[in-house]
Amino acid sequence: MCDKKSIYIHIPFCVKKCVYCDFYSKTDLFLIPGYINSLQKEIKARSDLKDKINTIYFGGGTPSVLPVKKIELLLQTIDASFSVSRKVEVTLEVNPGTVDLDYLMELKKVGINRLSIGIQSFNDDKLRFLKRIHTADQAIKTVENAEKAGFDNISLDLIYGLPFETKALWLKDLSTAVSMSPTHLSCYMLTLEPGTPLDEKVKKGLIAPLAPSTLSTLFKKTSRFLSEFKFEQYEISNFSKGVQTRSKHNSAYWDMISYYGFGAAAHSFDKNSRSWNHSSINKYIKDMDSGRLPVEGRETLTREQEMLEMILLRLRTLDGLDLEKFSTLFCVCFENQFKDILEQVIGGSMGFIKGNRFALTLEGRARLNGIVEAFAEKIL
């Protein structure tokens, strides 16, 4: 019997780095041919035809800087190395400013069946602040071209909570996004990642971040606004037009399904162990040329870490935590073990137990970090 797994491929190349991004990426595009060659080697070295691949995700960085022929080559290598489902979801992250209609049509031909378009905003002032390489007009054109190319599973990425963000600005972004009839929206709150140019500006007092209360208001407004247009908030940052258009790949993460991570800085997960590759393109290529897997580190999760991770991941979702599954895995009664936390969360209208599931309300999801911290203090 085949084990169901997912594949993530990290493409660590960008035309220009954004001020808020802490994902590993470089602007040295001349390294692409050697990197693709090493990716093929890693995929082949870790191949296992017993593993059935249900989702493939090209993330970055900016995967759409790759020539389509290179993407096709990677898909062919995966197909020869694993048991790929005939209904596999294949997502490629696309940035406006790096693609045209011909490119998108070629993507469709080689097997990409889902696009995640990094719009971030339809407001030019916001795009300039984020140091994006595209304009609002280019963003709109990219979505239109994706539809012309025949894609019917399109997700748009948006960012909110910029220092000068207002409710009116954000609702205009959401309205524009909804008007383009995507099947999925990912709405991410701007976070200050250590070491990024944006974080440095805040530390120097050049930029003042929005107050937490304002961010909470925007978060709840997002959910309520999109629900009016039949978008379901199935995960804290993700909205879909029904179950069928949820991201199957990301849902696998939240369900703690094993996955392969190929490429520099990519992470892999298998049942209760995690490994990660070197965050260096040159070291990655050197290891693969030497016949070594480019693994920088490994860890086996403790029972307590597994317990907390399941709670964290499942409380992010609309479906919540399966209490029966939790009890079976960890041999504890969730309701007894965390009685005091549940009394506070449910008593404060931040969560509920229905059937055999514990889930958070919108108010609870707005306070997710604090709720997870309470569980962490109890478990660790």
Over residues 105-125, the pLDDT tens digits come to 999 999 999 999 999 999 999
pLDDT at 369 over 80: yes
Range(s) within the chain of domains with CATH label 1.10.10.920: 303-379
For residue 311, give every residue at least 6 positions away whose Cβ sits within 8 Å of its Cβ, in sequence order, or none. 321, 372, 375
- Give the span between the Cα atoms of 37 and 79, in whole angstroms: 16
CATH topology of domain 3-254: TIM Barrel (3.20.20)
For the chain, give the mean pLDDT.
96
Helices (H), the chain: 32-45, 68-81, 101-110, 124-130, 136-148, 167-179, 197-203, 212-227, 248-254, 281-289, 303-315, 323-330, 334-337, 339-347, 362-366, 368-379
Q: Does the structure show a pLDDT above 70 at 356?
A: yes
For residue 1, what pLDDT is reported? 54
**What does the radius of gyration of the chain's CA atoms come to, in whole angstroms?**
21
**Which segments of the chain belong to CATH 3.20.20.70?**
3-254
Q: Has residue 334 got a pLDDT over 60? A: yes
The arrangement of strands across the sheet holding 114-120 comes to: 232-235, 238-240, 184-189, 154-160, 114-120, 82-94, 48-60, 3-11, 259-262, 267-270, 273-277, 295-300
**CATH code for 303-379?**
1.10.10.920
- The pLDDT assigned to 4 comes to 86
